[in-house]
Amino acid sequence: MEKRRCDECESTYFATRSEMLNLCPECAHQLYGYENCKHTFKDGRCTKCYWDGSTSEYLKTRPNNKAKLMKLPLGIKKVSVLCILQSGEQFLLLKRKNPPNQGLYTPVGGKLDPFETPLQAALRETKEETGIELDDMTFCGILTETSPTKYNWICYTYLAEIPYQEAPPCDEGTLEWIAFDVLSELPTPKTDWHIYDYSSRGQSFIFEAEYDADLQLLKMKELLLNQDLLIQ
């Protein structure tokens, strides 16, 4: 395989493994955001791209270059997934210890990683937050949330029926099994009851929720059936 030398870190790398002519996949990623190699190191070199782990002074001292790449203008919608894990009438919900929705019960989930499909993100988040490995989940619908603050989301919702098991530990808070009929007595995001209601009836949805600056839900609509929804 043809090898080249990286202009930035000076490591040799396999030419076909990089998106850029004169940079290894690592430096092309760090500097220009190209997809990185998923390095696997053996004897000091990546077996896939041949990078030797070198870095340059410039890359070492450049502050927060990841944060810079990821930073979005205020109010731009971020894409996330919600993973509803259901066993009969019960949902495995997370009492969140971190924002957003701190202190509320929500399904597990999170933001899409670069280059991920929504389903891949749902399977990954489920594994990361509950340890449960699934091959597939059922797509239920989409929730878009709009507010005049940074809280702006497009959220793909998936559901999986899983066998009952003891609620696993989770870094993001406490996982608990919650029965559908006690959901309304617990603190949850105001949008979520509709999500559980539609998804457990097998009814697809596109919800549009609008909030004020204090993140009070002003209105919520389901677009496929063009219905305004009641907000409790």
Report if residue 6 touches Zn ion, rule: CB under 5 A.
yes
Report if residue 111 touches Zn ion, rule: CB under 5 A.
no
Report if residue 127 touches Zn ion, rule: CB under 5 A.
no
Q: Which of 43/228 has CB closer to Zn ion?
A: 43
Report if residue 28 touches Zn ion, rule: CB under 5 A.
no
Stretch in the footprint of Zn ion (CB under 5 A) among 38-46, 78-86, 147-155, 203-211 = 38-46
Q: What is the DSSP string of 23-60?
A: S-HHHHHHHH-PPPP---EETTEETTT---S---HHHH
**How far is the C-alpha of 20 from the C-alpha of 35, rounded, in Å?**
11
Residues 6+ apart with CB under 8 A from 167: 92, 174, 175, 176, 177
Cβ contact 228:219 at 8 Å: yes
* Element housing 75 (H / E): none
Number of residues that bind Zn ion (CB under 5 A): 11
Instruction: List binders of Zn ion among 145-184 (CB under 5 A).
Output: none
Report if residue 45 touches Zn ion, rule: CB under 5 A.
no
The single residue among 14, 24, 129, 189 that binds Zn ion, judged by CB under 5 A, is: 24
Interface contacts to Zn ion, rule CB under 5 A: 6, 8-9, 24, 27, 37, 39, 46, 48-49, 51
